[in-house]
């Protein structure tokens, strides 16, 4: 084989690799609850800015029957670093879902490539106690290079032990580092969890943050009614997340049931 033929072959292969749909597959996929969490779910994801195809969400009650389609809203983002790295974010809503039901979805397009199929469970309607207890994973201070709890919480999600994740401050360390690529890596780190359960966040304050959740309703005067009660739970940015006093301090997630 001649040198010129080798160069041509290598160039063709490189073009094929970089133009492959795999290179443009959706990434950073994450769910968030909407105003009606029992009947809808929001999903956001990223694609390379070069992807021109309209991005959609396909979803349904079976992984083999994604019968419903929603178009996403898209906007381009340019990182403020010296590289001026660009990508396109997409956000859409899965609608008319049934309460406390497992749903399946994927995002992307034929032209740009598709994500894997993920599943999630909608919240129960207010007053329905059959789905209780609801289980929350709560933590803070998790970076891309110091994510000591990542493998354990991924396992919890895989085992269907969380209904929602609450990340109370300090993400990636930092999202903008390395021209934004560190933030991208962090979002892909959490994708196995965030694509399956709502991943809700709060902003990091200067000293500590208080996060309030209203979990359900009525009267907590008896054990029989406790699971139907309003529980207002607070967690501070630092001390409230400490669940051990040993060397694993701040690296063990709280599980609230």
167-176, 190-199, 208-217, range with the lowest pLDDT: 208-217
Q: Which residue has the tokens 């997409």?
A: 90
Please list the residue range(s) of the chain that carry CATH number 2.60.40.380. 24-124
pLDDT tens, position by position, 101-130: 999 999 999 999 999 999 999 999 988 888
Helices 181-194 + 150-158 axis angle, to 10: 30
**Domain 24-124 listed as CATH 2.60.40.380:** yes
Please answer whether residues 72 and 95 qualify as being in contact, where contact means their C-beta atoms are separated by less than 8 angstroms.
Answer: no
- Sheet containing 41-48: order of strands: 27-32, 41-48, 86-94, 73-78
pLDDT of res. 204: 60
Range of 35-44, 123-132, 146-155, 245-254 with top mean pLDDT: 35-44
- Asked if residue 30 has pLDDT above 90, the reply is yes
pLDDT tens, position by position, 181-212: 999 999 999 999 999 999 998 776 433 444 44
Three-class secondary structure of residue 12 per DSSP: helix
Please answer whether residues 51 and 20 qualify as being in contact, where contact means their C-beta atoms are separated by less than 8 angstroms.
Answer: no
Residues 6+ apart with CB under 8 A from 91: 42, 43, 44, 72, 73
- Asked if residue 236 has pLDDT above 80, the reply is no
């Amino acid at each position: 084989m001649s040198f010129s033929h080798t160069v041509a072959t290598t160039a063709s292969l490189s073009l094929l690799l970089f133009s492959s749909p795999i290179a443009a597959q959706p990434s950073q996929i994450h769910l968030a609850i909407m105003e009606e969490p029992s009947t809808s779910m929001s999903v956001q994801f990223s694609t390379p800015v070069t992807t021109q195809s309209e991005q959609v969400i396909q979803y349904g009650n079976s992984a083999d029957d994604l019968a419903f389609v929603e178009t996403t809203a898209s906007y381009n983002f340019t990182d403020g670093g010296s590289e001026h790295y660009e990508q396109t974010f997409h956000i859409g809503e899965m609608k008319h879902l049934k309460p406390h039901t497992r749903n399946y979805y994927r995002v992307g397009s034929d032209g740009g490539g598709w994500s894997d199929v993920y599943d999630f469970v909608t919240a129960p309607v207010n007053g329905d106690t059959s789905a209780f207890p609801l289980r929350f994973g709560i933590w803070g201070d998790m970076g891309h290079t110091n994510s000591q709890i990542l493998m354990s919480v991924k396992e919890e999600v895989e085992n269907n032990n969380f209904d929602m994740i609450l990340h109370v401050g300090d993400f990636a360390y930092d999202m903008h580092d390395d021209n934004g690529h560190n933030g991208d890596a962090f979002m892909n780190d959490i994708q196995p969890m965030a694509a399956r359960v709502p991943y809700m966040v709060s902003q990091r304050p200067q000293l500590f943050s208080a996060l309030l959740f209203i979990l359900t309703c009525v009267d907590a005067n008896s054990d029989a009614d406790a699971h139907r009660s309003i529980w207002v739970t607070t967690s501070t940015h630092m001390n409230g997340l400490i669940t051990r006093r040993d060397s694993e301090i701040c690296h063990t997630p709280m599980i609230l049931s």
